[in-house]
A and B are shown apart, each in its own frame.
Chain A
Amino acid sequence: MSFLSYLITGISLGSIYAIIALGYTMVYGIAKMLNFAHGDVIMVGAYVCFFAMAGLSGQMEAGSLAAAVVPQVAGVLLAMVVCTILGVVIEGLAYKPLRQAPSLAVLITAIGVSWFLQNAAQLLWGAAPKNFTSIVSGAVSLADGTLNISYVTMLTVVTCLVIMVGLTTFIGKGKMGKAMRACSEDKAAAQLMGINVNATISVTFAIGSALAAVAGVLMCSAYPTLMPTTGALPGIKAFTAAVFGGIGSIPGAFLGGLLLGIIETFTKAYISTDLSDAIVFLVLIVVLLVKPSGLLGRFVPEKV
């Protein structure tokens, strides 16, 4: 029984990694850049949702149906809008001027953006943690209460699946998706074929940041402490998950996230809580040594 409860824990942790990794991997797949500021956009999304919900629920009639739904929905939507704008602004100001620069230069700029967002958040909203109100509370109890699956976990897994299918369809079909794939293959050639590369990448960031907002809200619903540095560690873990699954691969990010969460939980449960981080990373290294392009990553043969 404890095995099952650990599995559930692992899935709920993994689904959070997965939903962050989806945004990470999508931006990487198209724009070919590691956006280290992704975790911090998540944090901003969570703060926006937090303040929107706090503001709205004060105005609602307590106990009414509207009070139970409207603040949450409005909070999520507002977070998505703000993050989308933020993502596009960051892309336009910090990444677009570096389109021709080596990818490492963009990586460093992304780190600068990450530090900027963390420090700005601390100045704006204070360093003290906020108690995030979960957008859905409660859990399903199975087997006389020994197994609990929280609604947040279910919602996260479902959201992950929806996003995964949505993104795959969007990128696989339609004009914009085609343009994105073209940019991913070869920016210069795409430009020559009449694709507006800048606009395409801006759209990619807009979508990636909107996903970050959703991820932020779900993450803080599951783990309700919200601080300016909240996004930093999950950002790294999600990056790990994305690489684990094969960076650039959307199903890979989902799989990588889930597996990372499950491995982490089982390591803590059955091996050692002291060394859990070391063991998780060791597993990652072994997997990458056996399969150097990640679980579902596409192996690109080198052209001579």
Chain B
Amino acid sequence: MKKFLAMLMAAAMVFGAAACSSGNNTGNNGGNAGNDGGSGDAGNDGAIVIRIGGIGPRTGDTAMYGLATERGAQIAVDEINALGGDIQLEYRFEDDTGVAETAVSAYNTLKDWDVDVIYGCTTTAPCVSVAAETYADRYFQLTPSASSTDVTADKDNVFQMCFTDPGQGVTAADYVAENGLATKVGVIYNNGDAYSTGIAQGFIAHAPEVGLEVVTEQTFPDDSNTDFTVQLTACRDAGAELVFMPIYYTPAALILNQAKNQLNYSPLFFGGDGMDGILGVVDESLAKGLMLLTPFNASSTEEATANFVAKYEADYGETPNQFAADGYDCVYAIYQALQQIDNLAEIAAMDPAERHTALCDALVSVFTSPDFSFSGITGSGMTWGTNGEVTKDPMVVVVEGGAYVTQ
């Protein structure tokens, strides 16, 4: 037994050595992008090279969200590097399996790689842990989709591309009330998930203020839950005209299916941004009439969006969802902010240990400056406050004919 453990250990050490060497022996300003699964050809000699390190789940239950953020950002990095400007990006994405422990070690792997800017994490709980580390170490961090207020709370260096959870709940309640969609509302959410619970609680707290009556609150414990007829029956029996479902699209697909096929119950269904992606997993007839709050519409004819969607479909064989779009915007927002840093060349010439601190301070002041505004495919005229939360116009879409129609 001991021998095999020793061998196992030896094997692990070999891997470790390989990992270390590939992490450390890369000069940072030489424009030698492309190692370590990094991407893009930093073709422009003498350009400033900035390393963006992404973190998100590539394996496990939430892999589909993490992979989407990884790929969306990859497309942006490739586009920016192809422009051949003065700033070239090196990009590397590490797996956190959706767990805080792994996310922190992924972050440290990126530190070993002399990362300059942290992009991530995809999900909330890992992001809170990583944000505490980046705050202490002084790295600029922009998350595409970790939407809890805990992510940015008390940290000046962490920014979000997505709406905060309670903010989204409030926006949804306002929208429902203003448009007179319903007065009696049922809420179904995942009480094992921070994102879902955050939006639901924001909605439930705000609903009475705008004249909505929450007739029932139903929960389920996990996204791998399969049966929702009890929750739907409760909504039906309570007379809910609208069912608010701030949940991810995988359980939502089952809810739509069971409401129609088992209960003949057809209220207005209203979802949050996690619902984006639903068109890929339900039949057109089921999704018809579904409303959701999403910053991104893949069927939009706008040039930037259409261009992104085409590239994503060509590279990965599926339609991008808002996670991918948020990732794409994150990289462009960082790029735009980098361009506005006056002494970027000076910062880039610093030693890696000091560079990220200087870059963090510079990027924070750009992001929070009143003149900084970013327009991307998940919204235009976005601005950030000192609390790291984004301000952008919410967009509500309704599904018609298998596509989103902006309201």
Contact = CB atoms under 8 A, between A and B. Distances in A.
B230 A274 contact: no
B253 interface: yes
A145 B226 CA distance: 22
A9 B230 contact: yes
B64 interface: yes
Given A129-B281, A233-B224, A139 B261 contact: yes
A130 interface: yes
Interface string B266-281: 0000000000010011
Nearest to A6: B230
Interface of B: 59-61, 63-64, 67, 191, 218-222, 224, 226-227, 229-231, 233-234, 237, 249-251, 253-254, 257, 261-264, 277, 280-283, 318
A233 B250 CA distance: 15
Contacts of A129: 64, 249-250, 253, 280-281
Interface string A224-240: 11011110111000000
Given A128-B280, A225-B281, A229-B61, A268 B263 contact: no
Given A128-B64, A148-B263, A224 B218 contact: no
Contacts of A273: 191, 218-220, 230-231
A131 B231 contact: no
Contacts of A13: 226-227
A138 B293 CA distance: 31
A126 B253 contact: no
Given A126-B318, A223-B226, A234-B226, A9 B254 contact: no
A229 B264 contact: no
Contacts of B231: 268, 273
B226 A2 contact: no
A222 B227 CA distance: 9
Contact of B233 (A2, A137, A276, A277): A2
28 contacts: A2-B237, A5-B229, A6-B233, A9-B227, A13-B227, A122-B63, A126-B64, A127-B63, A127-B67, A128-B67, A128-B318, A129-B250, A129-B280, A137-B261, A150-B262, A224-B253, A224-B257, A225-B250, A225-B254, A227-B250, A233-B222, A264-B227, A265-B230, A268-B230, A269-B234, A273-B220, A273-B231, A274-B221
Contact of A131 (B67, B191, B251, B281): B281
Contact of B283 (A122, A131, A265): A131
Contacts of B263: 5, 148
B56 to A, nearest CB: 11
Given A131-B283, A265-B230, A224 B264 contact: no
Nearest to B188: A273
A148 B261 contact: yes
A276 B59 contact: no
Contacts of B257: 224
A274 B191 contact: yes
Interface in A177-218: none
B127 to A, nearest CB: 19
A227 B226 CA distance: 13
A148 B233 CA distance: 12
Interface residues of A, number: 40
Contacts of B229: 5-6, 9, 265
- In order of increasing CB-CB distance, the 5 nearest A-B pairs are A127-B63, A223-B226, A268-B230, A127-B64, A233-B224
User: Which of B230, B251, B318 has the largest number of chain A CB atoms within 10 A?
Assistant: B230
Nearest to A270: B230
Contacts of A148: 261-264
B262 A139 contact: yes
A13 B262 CA distance: 13
Contacts of B280: 128-129, 131
B298 to A, nearest CB: 14
A122 B59 contact: yes
A145 B265 CA distance: 10
Nearest to B63: A127
A16 B220 CA distance: 19
A70 B203 CA distance: 48
Interface string A251-285: 00000000000001100110001101100000000
Nearest to A9: B229
Nearest to B318: A128
A119 interface: yes
User: Which of A139, A150, A222, A264 has the largest number of chain B CB atoms within 10 A?
Assistant: A222
A229 B60 contact: yes
A276 B221 CA distance: 8
A145 B260 CA distance: 11
Contacts of B227: 9, 12-13, 223, 264-265
A157 B231 CA distance: 23
A5 B222 contact: no
A222 B261 CA distance: 10
A229 B224 contact: yes
B233 A5 contact: yes
Nearest to A268: B230
A225 B230 CA distance: 19
Contact of A225 (B63, B220, B253): B253
Interface in A84-118: none
Contacts of A6: 229-230, 233
A123 to B, nearest CB: 9
Contacts of B253: 129, 131, 224-225
